[in-house]
Chains A and B, each alone.
Chain A
Amino acid sequence: MNTPATPAETFFKLVTDWPKTVLLLSLMCIVGLGSFMPQLHKDTSSGAFIADDDPVVVYRDHVRDMFGLEDPIVVAVINDGPQGVFNPDSLKLVDSLTREIGKLANVDPDGVTSLATESNIVGTYDGMDVTDFFEPFPSSQARADEIRAAIDAFPLYQGSLVARDGNATLVVVELLDQDIAQATYDEIMAVVAATAVPEGNQVHVAGEGAIAGYLATYIDRDAKRLNPLAAIIITLVLFVAFRTLVGSVLPNIIVIGTVTAAFGSMAAFGVSFYVITNGLATILIGIAVADSIHIMSQVYEEQAGDPTLSATRQGRSLIAQRALVKMWKPITLTTVTTVAGFAGLYLGAAMPPMKFFGLFAAIGVAAAWFYSILILPAALTLFPLKPSKLFQKGIVTDRYGAGLQRLGGAVLARPGLILAVAAVITMVGIAGTSRVIVQESQIESFQPVEPIYIADKEINRRMDGTYFLDIVIETDEPEALFRPDHLRRIEKLQRYVEEIPAVRGSTSVVDYIKQMHKAVNENQEAYYAIPDDETLIAQLFLLYSASGDPDDFEEEIDTDYSQANVRFNLHVADYQLLTEIVPQVQAYVDNEFNQEDIRAHMSGRVMVNYTWLKTIGDNHVRSLLLSLLFVWIAAAVVFRSMVAGVLSLIPVGMALLLVYAVMGFGGIWLGVGTSMFAAIAIGLGIDFAIHTLERMKELLGARSGSYDERLADLYPSTGRALFFNFAALGLGFVVLTTSEVPPLIKFGTLVAVAVSTAFLASMTILPAIGKLLRPAFLFPQGEIVTSDKRRITTATASVAVVLGVMSYLYVDTARADTALPTGNEIIAQLNARDDGQQVTRVLKMELIDRHGKARVRETLGYRRYYGDEKRTVLFYQSPSNVKGTGFLTYDYPQADTDDDQWLYLPALRKVRRISSSDRGDYFLGTDLTYEDIKKESRVAAEDYAFTTLGSTEVDGHLTYQVEGLPVDAETAQELGYSRVLWNIDPAIWMSRKTEMWDINGNPLKVVRSENIENIQNIWTALRLSAVNHKTGHSTVFTFSEVDYRTPVDDSMFEQRALRRGR
């Protein structure tokens, strides 16, 4: 017993010799750091997630400076009555809300936009007049009707300020300071509550400004309620573990120390408290509790071994020394590995909040260790230590200890079974992981009953959308945006982006210009277009300023008319949707703009969200792997064995896998809040592994006998401590699942899953592996023989492989279903595509011979469905030589019924009935057959046998290749094809490119559908080109003025229409 004191022994002796000093110093540290905490600044904006120098943020600030655009709060007045909001009561409500909200401190007085503030542009005899909509005030229904009429004539406001069906209108509120948006939201809610809302009207408050601000408070509110509850539960668990006051209270002091250390230093360094920082408190509590439980367990064990010791201070100090000398190593090991894990996070994360999370978690963990090894022994020395009844006989044999002993027995008896079960669970975990998707939609963080959730959904249902995508157009010269060609480019951009289903409307200076142009031309619709003359455009602005305020345009164009902002309204903006939209729009912008003199940049809330969520997705795996790597290195160093590193990763790995599995199967998105769970799982999980391995090593070295015999004490002692560790954390965070706040529920669930898995994995898998594979590091030197070593190496290698596979799968978290649909399925979808109940369109046919000479015919066509029967009529309008020619078809759905066709030739003045059975004949001199024209991008499913060949890219779009072989020789003869190959784009269910082979198998022609646009919700190919390889002749069909909405009269499809020419 008189071996020279180890450094540890010396140290702890020192601590216990000077307990008061140590305690005082520690308390001073705690208080000192804690004093910084009130300075902690909350930053709940999502912009915090991107580095300040990230181009997207920089650009957005620039946009904000130039156009004064922020994330507004939106107040909607809704009235579903017959006049919608166009009645005096609703309009008065809009007016009073506008005025009251404008008075709020954080509201930009010029930044409230509503019907009460906006102006109408009306044409007068000598120009235009800009008058406010509410001038005179709408105190009568007649005035309200006038305002409705004015809005109907002013497309700019439809969908953005007033709902298209007239049942809702918005008051858009720009804030001065985005950081206190939460407070402003509350103020606005108070204003709404104080305003008398007339019957039949509803008021909703939403908008990005509201959501971002409210979210943080929403979470905080509940967290503040539940965290203390968790603390109480943890204390209760501690009491159950130790049944002593000291055992329950002391760990809490360590927790306080840990938390103040982390947050105090955070405040001291001026780092903000972000949304995700809520999770940091969790980890720190967990780790502080863990360290304490282990130490206190050991303390009570020591005390039980020598009960009389605790009577004296000396005795207590001895107990403390012994306990700590035994426990300091595992605690230090866990601290080191945990700190290593968080260091990895700090290095691997790209976003400041996550980096800081890692940094301050490491600081907190270190503080926990620091305080544990100082405060605990010091306090134990000073204060009376009642023995724990549970530990009276050494190892605890209460029901928990007994239960764990039984578990241990079972595990050690059938290690193979344990590993097999673990493998199965791993498979399940991998399956779940593959279903995880990176997705974020802030509004979904709220319960559906929250007013803000309801408001957001209602407003986005009725209006064009409260999520904004800004595209800033930049030119180099002042007044360059007076040029019609630039304006047309902008207009074309608007039309293009508006075709995206999620984009319901857009606002730009072009809309104002068109309105002004219409106004000065006596409000004729034909003039709702960009003028051709630059000087005219300049004059329009001048005219506007004569009666209106030129600042009205400041959100759309800058003061020297060289930069403009186009704002697009989206009614949903979840991340997955943005991953489709943003690249598509970016590609268009790169193609159409970004030349020398005109450029376009995407910006706006939507862009910012997209960028930082993209970073999360890309970064998540990287920081995770880095963490794991650091943990592995630390564990390997600590145990001086690579295998040890690998083994310590097993519980951690399992915890991660199951966390992802729960996310995958449970439909929990990998988004901002959930991206930290992995880090938390690592931090908490590593504890269980290290403690287990360390204890196993100690037992295997100190005891003798078989493996099972030596490990007999593992379960009741370390196992029990781990169990209470698990219980404290698990139950503590299960409390969170009782929250109303969805993010907190997810948080609680996932942490509970992580902790449970780590515990069970440590308790079962590690001993089982130890028994089966006998890694050398666990056993005393010499016990493991070379042959065993080889087996161990193989085992280690296979574990490494499994880990590698798991890592690979983390990278591949969102695997798409790559199986291709069958040919019949694809063709069925193609045929089911909506092509409109009726359509009116202008068709220009160009017949181009092999020398490039073109003959052009212009026609006007109509088509309408009568049930399944399709009637089409085509009138030739030019040139004069063919003018008046008409073609009428009744296309019957039954395959065996021939169509009825009539041709009117003006020279004969007669309608001829013509045979339609030759659908392979070329239509009126074009390279498209009657069948091609008739089918109009559909396919007669009964004519072919279909096979999916694969997928390929056409015009930059993914398409399925489907081959069709005519069902018999007769059909092939009729159609004129022996083989057809379609390239069908599943996004639009149209064939982008169709290739045909003639009946002899030679390539015959290629038909391409191009300029495919979404017009009135129907995908339309505006250009069809057919090239006949045999003759070298080609045909181009260009459709324009396509209108699916205007009803087409029945009489259009009668012979008399042919005779009359229309």
Chain B
Amino acid sequence: MRIIAATNFFATALLSNLLVPAGNLAWAEGFMDDAELSGLFESELAWGRGDVQKAEFVLTPELGVALNDGLQLTIIARFRGDLTDELEPGVPEQRNRSESSRHLFIGDHVDVELREVFIDFEVGDTFLRLGKQQVVWGQADGLKVLDVLNPQSFREFILDDFDDSRIPLWTANAEIPVGDAMLQLLWIPDKTYDDIPQADALFAFTSPLVVPQAPPGLSLGMPITQSKLQRPNAFFRDSDVAASLSAFVGGWDLSLNYAYHYFDRPVIRREISSQGIAVHADYERTHLLGGTFSNVFDDFTLRGEVGYSSDRYFLTDAIGDSDGVVQSGEFSYVLGLDYQGWRDWFVSGQIFQSVMDDHERGVVRNRVDSTATLLLRGDFMNEAVQAEALLIHSLSQDDGVLQGSVSYEWRSNIRFKLGVDIFYGDAQGLFGQFQKSDRVSISAEVGF
């Protein structure tokens, strides 16, 4: 671990030490036409029930370098410090991340991550982006059907922006125009998967929907052994590949998507034997085929996303089940409707449903899992003040979260925000499990 961390550190130091003089040299010889440094500095303070949940400072610098011959290099890093260290206590193992995608932890409170490093260039008509990047599919807000190429960090559950929680991966991304359409081909050799919070983290999962529970009656006295998380490691064979074809046809934004990928959350199998319960987590692969569509009708925007995953694994309580996991295909979709008919107001509603092919008795979730969302956003004072309220309600579990915020753009580059996040519902539910983690937050964001 330390060696890896050290290697990473040295790599970063070496890289930066090389880049700076290289940059100067390149500048002097006219190699670089243009370099631009910008970034954001955010600080956020959140109070939970009687406790400070986080006191966080995040610096996200971005360097964009236009090399000659049309090459564009982008480097985005993130320096994050949390005074309270509730969200990721100590230094996590990062077993879910490939070596090249890990954070560098400096003490318990500070972590440094090279978020994105990529080069853009064109070969003929084909656009290529190579490097550590985020590739986002889908038309849904907040819920993911096709947005599964990049893993996510659940450090703050789903409370922070996806842009921050999504984990960039080393990817070869090619966009090839085909007639009026665009063909995108992806090869992701980076075997990094979701960051699941440790058991002692603030937003650690406890819901039976995601955490396998010991079958009733068997838990007491049984030793539970948990084996280390193993990631797939065959460089080529275990890479994810994906392709999508998108076009703007007849007023419709359409896309067709296919991915052959490892699902980012591990499947946790348990084996009950005389020695006890052995729990091990594996990543499983699946095909994903789906599409998106979007169009505008007067003041309404209709958008949708559908996907079918061939091999998904769902937790089951059935005692007879050997590994506590059921394999089944899953069909899911999101249908969203946005309304902009009222001046300065934006209303959006979505319905999300996931349907299991092979639902059996004992499977923890329903065959059909439904969630609805409602977003209300208002702009005031020439967009200087924005107020937003988002409700995500699980129709199946009857729990949900309500997020509200008011932000004020004090200067061109300074924005203040006041937010509130409230979880409600049964503690067994996906959202309800965080009932006790309601919070109020204030934050300031400064751009440079």
Q: Which residues of A contact B (CB under 8 A)?
A: 847, 849, 853-857, 878-883, 898, 900-901, 906-918, 920-922, 924-927, 1031, 1033, 1035, 1051, 1054-1056, 1060
Contact = CB atoms under 8 A, between A and B. Distances in A.
Nearest to A1062: B72
A857 B412 contact: yes
Contact of A879 (B294, B338, B412): B412
Contacts of B166: 909
Interface of B: 38-40, 62, 120, 127, 134, 136, 138-139, 141, 161-163, 166, 175, 177, 182, 246, 248, 251, 253, 294-296, 298-301, 303, 338, 340-341, 343-344, 379, 381-384, 409, 411-415, 445, 447-448
Given A881-B413, A925-B384, A908 B162 contact: yes
A1003 B448 CA distance: 38
Contacts of A879: 412-413, 447-448
B301 A906 contact: no
B447 A909 contact: no
24 contacts: A847-B382, A849-B384, A879-B413, A880-B38, A881-B414, A881-B445, A907-B161, A907-B163, A908-B141, A909-B136, A912-B338, A914-B338, A915-B301, A918-B299, A918-B340, A918-B341, A918-B343, A925-B382, A1031-B381, A1035-B382, A1054-B248, A1056-B175, A1060-B120, A1060-B127
A500 B273 CA distance: 93
A908 B411 CA distance: 23
A883 B37 CA distance: 12
Contacts of B177: 1051
Contact of A908 (B38, B163, B414): B163
Nearest to B294: A913
A927 B384 CA distance: 12
Given A878-B413, A915-B299, 14 more contacts: A854-B412, A881-B447, A907-B162, A908-B136, A913-B294, A913-B303, A915-B298, A917-B299, A918-B299, A918-B341, A921-B343, A1051-B177, A1054-B248, A1060-B127
Given A913-B253, A1055-B253, A880 B382 contact: no
5 closest residue pairs by CB, A with B: A925-B383, A880-B447, A879-B413, A881-B447, A879-B447
A857 B384 CA distance: 13
B415 A881 contact: yes
Contact of B344 (A855, A921, A1033, A1035): A921
B419 to A, nearest CB: 14
A915 B340 contact: yes
A857 B412 CA distance: 7
Contact of B38 (A854, A878, A901, A913): A878
Nearest to A916: B296
A922 B182 contact: no
Given A915-B298, A918-B341, A1055-B248, A1031 B382 contact: yes
A920 B344 CA distance: 11
A925 B38 CA distance: 23
B384 A913 contact: no
Given A909-B134, A925-B384, A927-B382, A883 B447 contact: yes
A908 B138 CA distance: 11
B296 A1056 contact: no
B381 A849 contact: yes
A766 B161 CA distance: 101
A916 B300 CA distance: 10
Contacts of B295: 913
Q: Which of B182, B381, B412 lies at the interface centre, i.e. has the most chain A CB atoms within 10 A of its CB?
A: B412
A190 B62 CA distance: 72
A443 B120 CA distance: 60
Nearest to A845: B412
A854 B412 CA distance: 7
A1005 to B, nearest CB: 12
B363 to A, nearest CB: 32
Contact of B296 (A849, A857, A913, A922): A913
Contacts of A855: 384, 409, 411-412
B163 A922 contact: no
A922 B382 contact: yes
A910 B146 CA distance: 12
Contacts of A916: 296
Contact of A1056 (B182, B300, B301, B343): B182
A683 B197 CA distance: 112
Contacts of A849: 381-382, 384
Contacts of B382: 847, 849, 922, 925-927, 1031, 1033, 1035
A908 B40 CA distance: 16
Contacts of B182: 1054, 1056
Contacts of A1033: 381-382
A901 to B, nearest CB: 8
A159 B120 CA distance: 41
Most chain B beta-carbon contacts within 10 A, residue among A900, A913, A918? A913
B409 to A, nearest CB: 6
Nearest to A905: B163
A849 B412 CA distance: 12
A1031 B380 CA distance: 11
Contact of B62 (A880, A900, A901, A917): A880
Contacts of A922: 343-344, 382
Contacts of B127: 1056, 1060
Contacts of A883: 38, 447
Most chain A CB within a 10 A radius of its CB, from B177, B246, B413? B413
A855 B162 CA distance: 27
Contact of A880 (B162, B251, B343, B448): B448
A1054 B299 CA distance: 22
Contacts of B251: 900
A854 B382 CA distance: 12
B298 to A, nearest CB: 5
A1054 B176 CA distance: 13
A880 B39 contact: yes
A927 B300 CA distance: 24
Contacts of B448: 879-880
A910 B412 contact: no
A411 B379 CA distance: 89
Given A900-B251, A925-B383, A1056-B127, A880 B409 contact: no
